[in-house]
Amino acid sequence: MRFDEYRQHDGLGLASLVRKREVSARELVALAIDRMNAVNPALNAIVTRMDEQAAARAASDLSGPFAGVPFVLKDIMQAHAGVRTCMGSAALRQHVPQAHEEMTRRWLAAGVVPVGVSNASEFGLKPQTESRLWGAVHNPWRPGLSAGGSSGGSAAAVAAGMVPMAGGNDIGGSIRLPAALCGLFGFKPGRGRTPWSSTHAEIAQGAAVQHVLTRSVRDSAAMLDATCAPFGRAAFHVAPPARSYSAEVERSPGRLRVGFSRLSPLGMPVDADCTAAVDQCARLLAGLGHDVQELTPPLAWADLYEDVMIMMYTTAAAMVREVRMTTGCKADAFESDTRLMAAVGRMYAAVELLASQARWAEYLQGWQAFRSQCDVWLTPVVTQAALPLGAFRTPGWQTLMAHVCLKIGLGRAMLRSDGVRQSLLEVLNYVAFTTPVNLMGLPAMSVPLYQSADGLPLAVQLVGGVGEEGLLFNLAAQLELAQPWFGRVPMRTDQLP
């Protein structure tokens, strides 16, 4: 098999060829390794290679729906026994786990062959992938631009043709954002649908979830079928689906009521390409027979975004505390922004955190009321279409001033200051449409239907109700058939610097 033939297939397609003995798992792994050798030096998507482990596994007797298919694990909560896993942090650069994480076990049971571990931002806290430990991931569509985050390494690996699918996780958009910027399908399951971790406690009340980034809808559905079984240690349990997600891909969604929003609930700018992507999808949905109208959920948006920040700050504080307790490392082992977020997170009293999390249920109640008007919500994924690397890098002077304010007890005053508030709002506006979905525990997907005038991919987000992953797969398959994206791929190997 040649690389151009390899790239013509999704994961299920490659697995079918392996079952029919038209290609071997060893050949597929060799193609994946050759592609990594060719393009990863320019992209920095893969930070730990698994060539030997992959070759040994490919030579073994594999079973499952994806038997023999090359795969990439993310460097966060997807540990593989005996393979370095750092959570994107220099504090864990020497960490080699002795056991598989639960999601890794389930992916291995599905038959995939991990060939590497992908780059990620430190603890997955940022919407771009530019860690101090690993450096920046370049977007395969245009090196120098961000691939998004925190699953940017996985997205770049799939978009560049190294593998047909890769692991991701999502606490505020970390599957959907990179998928949108790299032209992939990114599905975020609802709260509790997939296991978070077999070694770490659930974080952020189940707002963080695990799944994959893929090129096809059916790969995502089949992989969710393989990983969504109940997990005894999970803090959140959901009813099993009525039918397999692979079966849902074959079903019509019927006539749906689709509400769409083009404007940021924060009242801040949204790029013209981002709104154009929504308009294009709205027209496509209307042409497919759906009832489409402009609607925005009547939520307490100002409170919701404040609670998003509390979630991220306190998550950073918890992660830093856990790593320091287990490794004994010093504070300077972490990136300055991570230390700053953790310091802010420690300002919140337990009663403030509990009050914040109690409001999450109120937002969900508001969403449920909104569902009386529509079945699916259509929005942009991001509010800025093409960000250069370093766009959200905090200036050194601002970080220094923030740490001084925190040290002398002026942390809350600092957060209310105009300069800091504006910087926070700019980052928050970038993820204004994805983060609320995590708080409410809803399933959502990034669907790569749009391409800008200068050839860059962009996606829309479609959000369903609690437990409605199946409905989203119905709709995704319909959109994929109506406006295929599988054949849109970035530059050739010889065009990469």
The whole-number pLDDT of residue 236 equals: 84
State yes or no: pLDDT of 410 exceeds 80: no
Q: Which of 430, 447, 482 is the last residue of a domain?
A: 430
State yes or no: pLDDT of 140 exceeds 50: yes
First to last CA, the chain: 26
Can you say how many angstroms the Cα of residue 430 is from the centroid of all Cα atoms in its chain? 14
List the catalytic residues: 74, 150, 174
Q: What is the average per-residue pLDDT within 159-175?
A: 98
Residue 402 falls inside a structural domain: yes
Q: How confident is the model at residue 234 (pLDDT cuts 50, 70, 90)?
A: confident
State yes or no: pLDDT of 409 exceeds 80: no
Query: Is the domain of 158 the same as that of 226?
Result: yes
State yes or no: pLDDT of 307 exceeds 80: yes
Q: What is the average per-residue pLDDT within 414-424?
A: 66
Q: How confident is the model at residue 202 (pLDDT cuts 50, 70, 90)?
A: confident
Q: What is the average per-residue pLDDT within 201-209?
A: 86
Query: Is the domain of 325 the same as that of 231?
Result: no
Q: Reading across the β-sheet that carries 165-170, which strands appear in turn?
A: 46-49, 113-118, 70-74, 165-170, 209-214, 185-188, 444-451, 457-463, 376-380, 257-260, 291-294
State yes or no: pLDDT of 495 exceeds 60: no
Identify the three-state secondary structure at position 165.
Answer: strand
Record the pTM: 0.95
Query: Is the domain of 68 the same as that of 207?
Result: yes
Residue 247 falls inside a structural domain: yes
Residue 404 falls inside a structural domain: yes
Q: What is the average per-residue pLDDT within 9-26?
A: 99
Q: What is the average per-residue pLDDT within 144-170?
A: 98
Q: What is the average per-residue pLDDT within 124-148?
A: 97
State yes or no: pLDDT of 430 exceeds 70: yes
Q: How confident is the model at residue 286 (pLDDT cuts 50, 70, 90)?
A: very high
Angstrom distance (rounded) from CA 22 to CA 1: 9
Strand partners, 463: 377, 444
User: In terms of pLDDT, which residue wins out, 400 or 389?
Assistant: 389
Task: For 172, list phi and psi in degrees, rounded to 5.
Answer: -160, 10
Residue 443 falls inside a structural domain: no
DSSP string, 185-247: EEEEPPTTSS---SSS---GGGT-EEEEEESSHHHHHHHHHHH-S--TT-S---PPPSS-HHH
User: In terms of pLDDT, which residue wins out, 115 or 426?
Assistant: 115
Altogether, the residues listed in the chain come to a count of: 497
Contact 452, 380 (CB under 8 A): no
Query: Is the domain of 130 the same as that of 188?
Result: yes
The whole-number pLDDT of residue 494 equals: 45
Query: Is the domain of 317 the same as that of 249?
Result: no
The whole-number pLDDT of residue 416 equals: 64
Q: Which of 430, 452, 485 is the last residue of a domain?
A: 430
Q: What is the average per-residue pLDDT within 384-389?
A: 92
Query: Is the domain of 208 the same as that of 341?
Result: no
DSSP string, 267-296: S----HHHHHHHHHHHHHHHHTT-EEEE--
Cβ-based neighbour number of residue 196 at 10 Å: 25
Percent of the chain predicted with pLDDT > 70: 93
Angstrom distance (rounded) from CA 64 to CA 50: 21
Query: Is the domain of 244 the same as that of 305?
Result: no
Q: What is the average per-residue pLDDT within 371-382?
A: 98
Angstrom distance (rounded) from CA 224 to CA 228: 6
Query: Is the domain of 194 the same as that of 306?
Result: no
Pairing of strands 457-463, 444-451: antiparallel
Q: How confident is the model at residue 424 (pLDDT cuts 50, 70, 90)?
A: confident
Q: The tokens of 52 are what?
A: 């030997």
Query: Is the domain of 398 the same as that of 251?
Result: no
Mean pLDDT of the chain: 94
We report the CATH number of the domain holding residue 15 as 3.90.1300.10
Query: Is the domain of 56 the same as that of 182?
Result: yes
The whole-number pLDDT of residue 170 equals: 98
Residue 204 falls inside a structural domain: yes
Contact 81, 70 (CB under 8 A): no
Residue 103 falls inside a structural domain: yes
The whole-number pLDDT of residue 402 equals: 67
Query: Is the domain of 185 the same as that of 310?
Result: no
Range of the domain at 104: 3-256+473-495
Q: What is the average per-residue pLDDT within 381-404?
A: 80
User: Number of structural domains, the chain?
Assistant: 2
Residue 490 falls inside a structural domain: yes
User: In terms of pLDDT, which residue wins out, 16 or 392?
Assistant: 16
Q: What is the average per-residue pLDDT within 336-352?
A: 91
The whole-number pLDDT of residue 289 equals: 99
Q: What is the average per-residue pLDDT within 23-36?
A: 99
Identify the three-state secondary structure at position 168.
Answer: strand
The whole-number pLDDT of residue 177 equals: 98
Q: What is the average per-residue pLDDT within 213-234?
A: 94
The whole-number pLDDT of residue 265 equals: 95
Q: What is the average per-residue pLDDT within 195-201?
A: 84
Percent of the chain predicted with pLDDT > 90: 85
Among 105-119, 416-430, 469-483, where is mean pLDDT lowest? 416-430
Residue 381 falls inside a structural domain: no
Q: How confident is the model at residue 400 (pLDDT cuts 50, 70, 90)?
A: low
Task: For 175, list phi and psi in degrees, rounded to 5.
Answer: -95, -45
The whole-number pLDDT of residue 401 equals: 64
Query: Is the domain of 227 the same as that of 349?
Result: no
Angstrom distance (rounded) from CA 72 to CA 119: 10
Name which of 243, 216, 180, 196 is nearest 450 in CA terms: 180
State yes or no: pLDDT of 493 exceeds 50: no
Name which of 313, 299, 207 is nearest 261 in CA terms: 299
